Amino acid sequence: MTLITVSDLTKTFGNQTVVDNISFSIEPNTSTALIGPNGAGKTTTLSMLTGLLSQTSGSIKMEGVKDMRSVIGFLPQYPKFFSWLSALEYTEMVAKLSGIEVKQAKLQSQKILEYVGLGAALHKKTGTFSGGMKQRLGIAQALVHKPKLLLLDEPVSALDPVGRREIMNLLKEIQNETTILYSTHILNDAEEMTDQLLFLRGGKLVEKGSLKEVRARFEEPRFKIKFSSSQQALQFASQSELHCHVEGEKVFVEIVHEQPTMQQMLNRLANSQFSIESIEKVTASLEEIFMKVVGSYESV
């Protein structure tokens, strides 16, 4: 079952096309990462999904829902809060604006603030909050009305490593109960928490799929061979026609299409004078895959 379907979504400002005819769907209770460099169209896409920005053409449909705004929670990249309100007062205000009755709004606000780790700061003014606390508050206000879909625009990009880790751990918990679509240019975060990747470049959706699927399409076989000495590693690299990178006694080998297969390489090693301690397959990082996806797109 599909929760939301986006078809041929386009946004233009004057003569500039910022989002160019993109289509994708999201399944319930999954996490989808919208990744790409700055200016790729990530924020504009999220703004259209929230209804804050109207699309030039295309459609956004959610199964069984006429007005999506009532079932979407949104955290912008730079959330703004009323500094004179407490965390509870602010979240309660958002709950009421979402149509929750007064008594229930307070109960739900307190519950969600405790859930995101702000139970001890219910009555503190938001103007005194750290960056990490503000992100937690932003997530709380986006969740207070129990949305079906949570949209997050660069949720951790402004945080230090400790704050980023805390928020990513929180999002992993939320993922168990709510469908998440978030934008990021921090690829380590997308690699850590995603069921589906959407690659944006220049407003176009240039690739999509799970990390495993995208790896299968773009990853070249790569191996790490550990020799008994750095001298042997250097000797192997100098004699090999393979793409090699030497680090001490280790050689990283990439096998591309026109080169010998892994089995042929192993046969050569077995019949050589080299003393080998181990051979491991190296998995490409999302950053490496992203650069290949972008390079593939730019070469067209």
CATH number where 234 lies: 3.30.70
Q: What angle do CA 44, 50, 53 make, to 5 degrees?
A: 50
C-alpha to C-alpha distance for 287 and 211, rounded to whole angstroms: 11
Residue 172 shares a structural domain with residue 259: no
In a domain, 289, yes or no: no
The pLDDT value given to residue 299: 43
Exposure string for 151-188, b = 16+ CB within 10 A, e = fewer:
bbbbbbeebeeebbebbbebbeebbeebbbbbbbbbbe
pLDDT by 10s per residue, the chain, length 300: 899 999 999 999 999 999 999 999 999 999 999 998 888 999 999 999 999 999 999 999 998 888 888 899 999 988 899 999 999 999 999 999 999 999 999 999 999 999 999 999 999 999 999 988 999 999 999 999 999 999 999 888 777 888 888 888 888 888 888 999 999 888 888 888 899 999 999 999 999 999 889 888 887 777 777 877 777 777 777 767 666 777 777 767 666 555 556 677 777 777 777 777 777 777 888 888 888 887 655 543
Residue 142's contacts (CB-CB under 8 Å, 6 or more residues apart) are 73, 74, 75, 150, 151, 152
Which is it for the CA torsion 204, 210, 212, 217, positive or negative? negative
- Asked if 182 and 49 sit in the same domain, the reply is yes
Bridging pattern class, strands 204-209 and 57-62: unpaired
- pLDDT recorded at residue 247: 79
| Same domain membership, residue 174 and residue 245 | no
Q: Is residue 235 part of a domain?
A: yes
Same domain, 147 and 54: yes
Q: What sign results for the dihedral spanned by CA atoms 1, 69, 20, 200?
A: negative
* 16-26/4-13 β-pairing: antiparallel
191 and 232 in a single domain? The answer is no
Same domain, 169 and 193: yes
DSSP states along 166-234: HHHHHHHHHHTTSEEEEEES-HHHHHHS-SEEEEEETTEEEEEE-HHHHHHHHPPPEEEEEESSHHHHH
pLDDT of residue 31: 94
Judge if 197 and 88 occupy the same domain.
yes
Containing domain of residue 40, as a range? 4-209
Contacts 24+ apart (CB under 8 A), 290-294: 290/35, 290/187, 290/199, 292/218, 293/199, 293/201, 293/206, 293/207, 293/214, 293/218, 294/37, 294/199, 294/201, 294/206
The pLDDT assigned to 282 comes to 76
Model pTM score = 0.83
Question: What is the domain-level CATH number for residue 42?
Answer: 3.40.50.300
Partners of 150 in the β-ladder: 73, 180
Q: How far apart are CA 98 and CA 145, in angstroms?
A: 7
Q: Are residues 11 and 39 in the same domain?
A: yes
Task: Count how many domains the chain has.
Answer: 2
Q: Same domain for 77 and 184? A: yes
- Judge whether 274 lies within some domain: yes
Q: What per-residue confidence (pLDDT) applies to 205?
A: 95
Measure the CA–CA gap between 215 and 212, rounded to whole angstroms.
5
Is residue 231 included in any domain, yes or no?
A: yes
Residues 204, 229, single domain; the answer is no
Given a contact cutoff of 8 angstroms between Cβ atoms, the answer to whether 117 and 163 are in contact is no
| 269 and 230 in a common domain | yes
Sign of CA dihedral 217, 32, 183, 69: positive
Q: What distance in Å separates the CA atoms of residue 147 and residue 297, rounded to the nearest whole number? A: 35
287 in a structural domain: no
Strands of the sheet with 276-281, listed across from one edge: 243-247, 250-254, 222-227, 276-281
Check whether residue 110 and residue 160 sit in a common domain. yes
